[in-house]
Structure 1
Amino acid sequence: MDAFTPTIELTDAERIDRLRLIRTDNVGPRTFRSLLLHFGSARVALARLPELARRGGAAHAARIPGEDDARAELAAGQKLGVSLKAPGEAGYPARLATIDDAPPLLGVRGVLGSLMRPMIAIVGSRNASAAGLKFAGQLAHELAEAGFILVSGLARGIDQSAHRASLAGGTLAVLAGGHDRIYPPEHQDLLAGIVSSKGAAISEMPLGHEPRARDFPRRNRLISGAALGVVIVEAAHRSGSLITARMAAEQGREVFAAPDPQADERARIIGLLGPTPVSIDDLVRMAGLSPAIVRTVLLELELAGRLERHGGAMVSLV
Structure 2
Amino acid sequence: DAASEELRCAELGARLIVRGDPDYPDLLASIHDPPLVLYVQGCLRERPPVAFVGTRAPTPYGRRMARRLSGEASRRGLTVVSGLARGIDAEAHLAALDAKGPTWAVLGTGLGCVYPAENRQLARRIVAEGGAVISERPLETKPLPELFPRRNRIVAGLSWAVVVVEGRHRSGSLITARLAAEYGREVLAVPGPADSVMSEAPHRLIAEGAAMATGVEDIVGALPEGRILEPALPLSPASGFAAPAEGPAPTEEEARVLALLGADALSLDELVQLSGLDTTRISSIMFGLELKERVSSVPGQRYAQKEAY
TM-score range, shorter chain: 0.5 to 0.7
* Residue 91 (structure 1) shift: 3.7
Q: Which amino acid aligns with 2:177?
A: A
Distance in 1 between residues matched to 2:74 and 2:213, nearest whole Å? 19
Relative to structure 1, is the Cα distance of residues 160 and 249 closer, same or farther in structure 2, using a 3 angstrom cutoff? same
Alignment correspondent of 2:222: none
- Higher RCO structure, 1 or 2 (CA under 8 Å, sep 6+): 2
CA contact (8 A) 2:191 2:213 kept: no
Alignment correspondent of 1:174: 106
What SS is found at the alignment partner of 1:172? strand
Distance in 2 between residues matched to 1:181 and 1:192, nearest whole Å? 12
Alignment correspondent of 1:148: 78
Instruction: Give the superposed CA RMSD.
Output: 2.1
Alignment correspondent of 2:129: 197
1:292 and 2:214 correspond: yes
TM-score (norm 2): 0.61
TM-score (norm 1): 0.60
What SS is found at the alignment partner of 1:177? coil
CA contact (8 A) 1:91 1:108 kept: no
More helix by share: 1
Distance in 2 between residues matched to 1:136 and 1:247, nearest whole Å? 21
Alignment correspondent of 1:253: 185
Ranges of 4+ aligned residues in structure 1 off by more than 6 Å: none
Distance in 1 between residues matched to 2:156 and 2:107, nearest whole Å? 13
Distance in 1 between residues matched to 2:23 and 2:106, nearest whole Å? 14
Runs of 5+ consecutive residues of structure 2 not aligned to the other structure: 196-211, 218-309
Runs of 5+ consecutive residues of structure 1 not aligned to the other structure: 1-68, 264-289, 296-318
Instruction: Give a deviation string over 1:188-227, Cα, whole Å, max 9, x none.
Output: 0011100000210100000111020000000000000000
Alignment correspondent of 2:253: none
Identity %: 47
Instruction: Compare CA radii of gyration and give the structure with the larger one.
Output: 1
* Residue 122 (structure 1) shift: 0.2
Q: Which amino acid aligns with 1:164?
A: L
* Residue 88 (structure 1) shift: 4.0
Distance in 2 between residues matched to 1:215 and 1:291, nearest whole Å? 29
Alignment correspondent of 1:231: 163
Q: How does 1:1-318 map to 2 (within 5 A)?
A: 69-112=1-44, 114=45, 116-167=46-97, 168-262=100-194, 292=214
Distance in 2 between residues matched to 1:195 and 1:90, nearest whole Å? 21
